[in-house]
Amino acid sequence: MNRFVLLAAAVVVAAFAVGTALGLAFGATGGTAGSSASAAATGSPTAAAISLPPLYTGCRPQQVPVGTGVTCGTSLAGVEQVLVVQWPDAATMQADFARTQGGKPDGKCSTYDGRDPSGVRSTWGNGKPLACYVNTNGAAVVLWEDPAKRLELLAVRGDGDTVKAFAWWTQAIKTPL
C-alpha cells in the first residue's frame, strides 16, 4: 500500500513539473507552437535535426504536434528559453500564424508594454511574421518566423518584462539562422 501511495505521489509530482515547465514556456495566450505543444506529438524529435547558430545553447528535443521542435537556452541575456519549431512547409506555418496571431492588433513590439492583453503583431525583415504578448502565466513572449527556413521561434521571459524580451530579440536576429 505504501509503495502504491509513493508511486502515485511521484506520478503527480512529475506531471506537475512537466505541466509547469510547459506552462512557463507557452501559457494560453498567443497560440502557435505554445498552444500546440500540449497536443499529442508526432514522433520524437532530436536536437540535431534543427541547425541553429551558437546563440542557441543546450537545445533539447521538444515534442510538438507538427514538425520538429527543440527548447534552447541562449548565450545572450534577456530571455530564459527559446522554443524552435521547424515546420514541414512554410505555407502551413504561415497559415497557423495567421489563425493564431491574426486577431492581435497591428503594432510595434518595440512599443508593446504588456498592458494590451492580446499583444500585437507586425512583421520584420521583408514581411516575416512577428508577434509579442504576455501569456497567461505572465511571461513575456516574442514569436517570430523565418519562412525560408520554415522556422518558428518563441522566446520567453518569465518575469513579463516585454521591453527586455524585445531588446533580446533585436540582438538575436542579428545572428542569421
Q: Is 51 within a domain? A: yes
Q: Is 113 within a domain? A: yes
Q: Is 41 within a domain? A: yes
Q: Is 54's pLDDT higher than 60? A: yes
Q: Is 76 within a domain? A: yes
- Please write the tens of the pLDDT for every residue from 149-169: 999 999 999 999 999 999 999
Q: Is 121's pLDDT higher than 60? A: yes
Q: Is 134 within a domain? A: yes
What confidence score (pLDDT) does residue 131 get? 98
What confidence score (pLDDT) does residue 116 get? 84
Q: Model confidence at 72, in pLDDT bands (50, 70, 90)?
A: very high
Q: Is 177 within a domain? A: no
Residues of the domain holding 45: 2-172
Q: Is 167 within a domain? A: yes
In percent, the amount of the chain with pLDDT more than 70 equals 73
Classify the C-alpha dihedral 155-87-17-132 as positive or negative. Answer: positive
The label of the residue with cell 502551413 reads 92
Q: Which residues pair with 112 in a beta bridge?
A: none
Number of domains the chain is built from: 1
- What letter would DSSP give residue 137? T
Q: Is 48 within a domain? A: yes
